Homo-oligomer: A and B are copies of this chain.
Amino acid sequence: MKTPKISEAVVRRLPVYLRYLQELHELNIRTVSSYELGQKLDMNPAQIRKDLAYFGEFGRKGIGYEVIYLVEKIKQILKIDRHLNCALIGAGHLGIALSNYNRFTQEKLSIAAIFDNSPDKIGTPVGTLTIQPLDELEQMVRERDILIGIITVPAVEAQKVADRLVEAGIKGILNFAPTSLRVPAHVSVRNADLTTELQTLAYYID
């Protein structure tokens, strides 16, 4: 069950499989073949089988994959079968939108602290949390076992925030700021810059 060296391309597809398998589960569909998955997700069935086979033998020859079982397995692989606490840094519109995004809590990924440095935001309640000053970042990361930082501050501040998160011992960063972050190799970064996405899309228009 332990893994050799899985490419990022493979890892990025797992949540896509998971999402669709969960849809199937809600429709009470018990079993699905790589062919059916491929049809729906517009992917090659061989690729789907190969991706899954990196992590174990989850299917049955002649039958396909049991939906519930595969959901559980993928959750284990992604390590989202356990709780994972995130800190949100930047309580602007986007930050607030994310903290209200209930899907996070459903998925055992929860926002455990929100930070901002603007005096008129500090102390404001957001759901069950209260916006805290950035000074308290390191302490909260330790106290609340926070492993992921979600950066929604302006681009100019993003690197500073990233440095502090790294220093505080965080393991991953989801970066919404439109800038490239430099972090040590043991920290993972995923960029979710909306402008970048739209610009990529623009290329394909006409």
Which A residues are closer than 8 A to B by beta carbons?
A: 11-12, 14-16, 18-20, 23, 40-42, 77-80, 84, 86, 92-94, 96-98, 100-101, 103-104, 107, 109, 147-148, 171-174, 178-180, 182, 188, 190, 192-206
Q: With A79-B202, A109-B202 given, can you name 10 additional A-B contacts, CB distance below 8 Å?
A: A14-B203, A19-B193, A42-B182, A78-B200, A92-B97, A93-B101, A107-B195, A171-B205, A190-B198, A190-B201
Q: Is the CB of A204 within 8 A of B171?
A: yes
Listed by A's residue number, 24 A-B pairs whose Cβ atoms lie within 8 Å are: A11-B203, A14-B199, A14-B200, A19-B179, A19-B196, A40-B180, A40-B182, A79-B202, A79-B203, A80-B202, A93-B100, A101-B194, A104-B195, A109-B199, A148-B205, A171-B204, A171-B205, A173-B201, A174-B201, A188-B201, A188-B204, A190-B198, A190-B201, A192-B197
A3 vs B188: C-alpha distance in the bound complex, in angstroms?
A: 34
Residues of B within 8 A of A19 (CB): 178-180, 193, 195-196
Is the Cβ of A171 less than 8 Å from the Cβ of B84? no
- Docked Cα-Cα span, A84 to B204, in Å, equals 12
Q: Give the CA-CA distance A103 to B152 in the complex, in Å.
A: 13
Q: Is the CB of B198 within 8 A of A104?
A: yes
Q: Are A109 and B198 in contact (CB under 8 A)?
A: yes
A101-B94 contact, Cβ under 8 Å, with A14-B203, A19-B180, A205-B172 = yes
> Are B202 and A172 interface neighbours, CB within 8 A?
yes
The interface residues of chain B lying within 8 Å CB-to-CB of A18 are 199
CB–CB B148/A179 < 8 A: no
* Contact A174/B190 with A19-B179, A78-B202, A97-B96 known, Cβ cut-off 8 Å: no
